[in-house]
Amino acid sequence: MEFKVDHEEHSGFSKQSRRRRTRKTSNKDEEASDAKAEDQSNGEKEFKDDHEEHSGFSKQSRRPTTRKTSNKDDEASDAKAEDQSNGEKEFKDDHEEQSGFSKQSHHGRKRNTSNKDDEASDAKPEDQSNGESGMPSETSILRRSLRNARRHSNTPEMPKVKRNVKFTEEECLMCHQCQRNDKGEVVRCTRCKRKRYCLFCLKNWYPEWTNDDVAEACPVCRGNCNCKACLRSDELIKKMKEEVKEKRYEGNEVQISKYLLIRLLPFVRQLNEEQMLELVIEAKRQGLSLSELNIEKAEYSLDERVYCDNCKTSIFDYHRSCRNCSFDLCLTCCHELRDGQLLGGTDPVELEFIKCSLEYLHGGIEKEKIKVKTKRMHADVKREIPQIPEPDIRGWSRSGWHAESDASIPCPKVNDECCHGFLELKSIFGQTFISELVYKAEELAKAYKLQNAIETPGNSCSCLKISGNTDVRNNMRKAASREDSSDNWLYCPKAVDLRPVDLKHFQWHWNKGEPVIVSNVLECTSGLSWEPLVMWRAFRQITNNNKHGKHLDVNVLDCLDWCEGEINIHQFFTGYTKGRYDWKNWPQILKLKDWPPSNLFEERLPRHCAEFISSLPYKEYTDPLRGALNLSVKLPSKCLKPDMGPKTYIAYGVAQELGRGDSVTKLHCDMSDAVNVMTHIVDVKLEHKNIVAIDTLKLKHLEQDKRELFRDDQEGETNVRMPTSSPSTVDGLSNRSELQDVEKVTMKHENIMSIGEDASDGALWDIFRRQDVPKLQEYLKKHFREFRHVHCRPLNQVVHPIHDQTMYLTVEHKRKLKEEYGIEPWTFIQKLGDAVFIPTGCPHQVRNLKSCIKVALDFVSPENVGECFRLTEEFRTLPINHKSSEDKLEVKKMTVYAMDNVVKNLEKTRSGET
């Protein structure tokens, strides 16, 4: 047993934590020899620590005492040094305990013994175990011989040091950030009196802080420490989730429930009417009355998503299903099939991409066209074309599929198991659930007199009186110059000035479908760093971690030819801060794709997730945990929920509009509301050679546009109307002087808007009004061949001009849009710390003016449920292999659960009142 103890000492375990006495000493000489041997053993261990010190460990945290002390001064000095070392180890234990490591696994540290009673108590258990047999064991004999051998060795003897000097924080040099104590001077926190930061870490990770700031309150005290342990701590997220159980909007629940009731009631009525229509058809088919009709309840679990096999739309309650093959059909498809016009789930479209040379990307002439699906190299980015969606193989045919004369619908699948069985009507919630929910909601609306409670936009907002009130002007931002329009200015309050009463002001603009910009939201947070390398340190994993593995390569999108590829993450972030350029000195604009995945954002970046949530204004809408006006949180906890974020958007950017290869999010329309926060920007200055390259290549790009807009190589087809004054011009681009005129117009427009001049400018937004969407679509269908997408090729087909997300309107296109159709978007610059609220149904596009990090979150507001319903019906008519065809939001299910929650809350309140 004694030999095992020695072995554990040399294996890295603390000797004194397992120190036991093996026999009772009967004379002072033998006791002195034991102490001498033990001190010698301590000296050997300290020599081992010194070896570890040269292997990369902190020297002062393992400082050995390796010399003989001949007087009390030296002895006290050694004791003081060892006590300081012990103090540093205690501090490290505390840090490891907070970081999630077991404290007891590191608890075997040397401790001070102040009296013989402690030594006796340590020795007693060992003596008892060894004393059970009257004879000494072989292990004790071996240990005794080893001890005698050590007595006669030439190793310097080490005196036993009494560790009775009290540890003080003033003597510890261990930095909380790097966990080292060999970097010299540290700054100590006077608030917690425990944490210290070395000057090296302060310079690298907290450059904006002075030493006095850290001394006043360290990053840990301020809640924004970015060491790895603190970044990976999920305590704040857990705390937020615990607060969900409490009433966050105490005293306001009833008013919020009333607001939701009157907002959602029309849409629940709509769902009930659709179901009642199907019930009437089914009762007539069976020859029964509605009261006699019995609808079978479908067996589905909450965590299972049910969708229509024809149009991919989510099924929330009533649907028709085949008993043999489980083919499901939504009510909308049932109605369309009976009407003879099945619009949902159209046949897939075939997409093709054409290979191009690198020269073609910058205006070169392509000699041949080859359709490819292979990878290719470009610089140090491994790249490939986007995956072509494979046409969906239904396994059944829509041709000849129709409803019978009695309105029954046969199953379209024909195979060995299912041979034209008819689809039966089934319900998920229950036959009368929706109708009873509507009845209860209407009764509550009458009881609370809510029939006319919705406020219509009128003169209740003081923003309309802009001209006479400069204070109001400070809370507004001009974003358009439409004639005879009152919505050219957008509501733009400051986050630090928001009060609870400002929610009504927000709702007034939000109800009109206007974007809202809230500035300086990061001032309401702890100030955690959003530097990309800080996020990477929090995200990256240890090598050979079986769960997550190493994440050194990331997927990126090149905005020049819209091809995906892989790059080392360190190289990507280097380009983010310093810029990257291709073989022509043209800025290489990369976008980080899905990093981290939005479904892992909370798990992999817990501190940044908590920081982002705390920054969001109007938490009744944006709180993803318990937003009282956020319908997405009304789904049951066990229900399969849609991915609402948060999601990061990290990309390079330059202030000048390149026209080709810009850092953009192309024109699109989201299924839900969204809030987008600019958390970080870096201004990468272009060198002279890059500016010259841009000017030169832009002319080549425009010449290439002229050639291809003639469509000489595409059977003479063109969507461009050429001016009658000159047969050789395309949109007025006939010679170099005209090209220069276009450049002058572009530069003039950019100078007027002062794009990118402000140090806080991050991204340029264009958001279109809902009422302008039809004209916008008409313009895009007319000019779609003027836009380039994959491989920088002109578009040759359009399924839906907005939902395809393949076009970005440049300054010139926006000018022509207003000239031809009289519409223009809200255009504004998102600055660092701005939170942009985008209403559902508003097409929008974004161009980065600098390298920037944005974090976005989706939510569903009661004001825009109608738009969500409309978009759901619009998406279901897209081809089944379209990326937007699938109903991932399930807004109808959200609406039903939200109304059920509201009715229960108001009924409970009403019963308490009576």
List pLDDT tens digits, range 845-885: 999 999 999 999 999 999 999 999 999 999 999 998 888 88
What average pLDDT does range 891-906 have in this prediction? Answer: 95
Nearest to 671 by CA among 859, 895, 800: 859
Tokens matching residue 493: 């309050």
Peptide bond into 825 cis (omega under 30): no
Question: Could you give the C-alpha distances from 440 to 278, 840, 891, 896, in angstroms and in order?
Answer: 22, 29, 21, 13
pLDDT at position 806 over 90: yes
362 contacts: CB under 8 Å, gap ≥ 6: 584, 586, 697, 700, 701
Structure tokens given for 665? 């999010």
- Which pLDDT score, from 0 to 100, does residue 871 have? 95
Phi then psi dihedrals of residue 589, to 5 deg = -100, 115
Share of the chain above pLDDT 70, in %: 67
Categorize the per-residue pLDDT at 281 as very low, low, confident or very high, splitting at 50, 70 and 90.
very high
Q: What is the Cα–Cα distance from 320 to 412, expressed in whole angstroms?
A: 12
Chain centre distance of CA 77: 54
Look up residue 306 and give its DSSP letter. Answer: -
SS3 163: coil
Q: What residues have CB less than 8 Å from 71, skipping those under 6 apart? A: none
What per-residue confidence (pLDDT) applies to 7? Answer: 44
Q: Pairing state of beta strands 851-859 and 647-651?
A: antiparallel
Report pLDDT for 394: 67
CA 474/CA 463 separation, integer angstroms:
10
* Mean of pLDDT values over 181-201: 91
Q: What is the pLDDT of residues 468-510, one digit of tens each?
A: 444 445 688 999 999 888 889 999 999 999 988 889 999 999 9
How far is residue 38's CA from residue 471's CA, in Å, rounded to a whole number? 79
Task: Give the integer Cα–Cα distance in Å for 221 and 526.
Answer: 10
> Which tops the pLDDT comparison, 644 or 32?
644
Per-residue pLDDT tens digits for 203-242: 999 998 999 999 999 999 999 999 989 998 888 888 888 7
pLDDT computed for residue 586 by the predictor? 94
Reading the block at residue 357, the tokens are 């040379």
Per-residue confidence (pLDDT) for residue 374, from 0 to 100: 33
| pLDDT single digits (tens) 128-141 | 433 443 444 454 55
pLDDT of residue 812: 94
CA distance 684 to 16: 58
Which residue, 473, 455, 453, is CA-closest to 463?
473
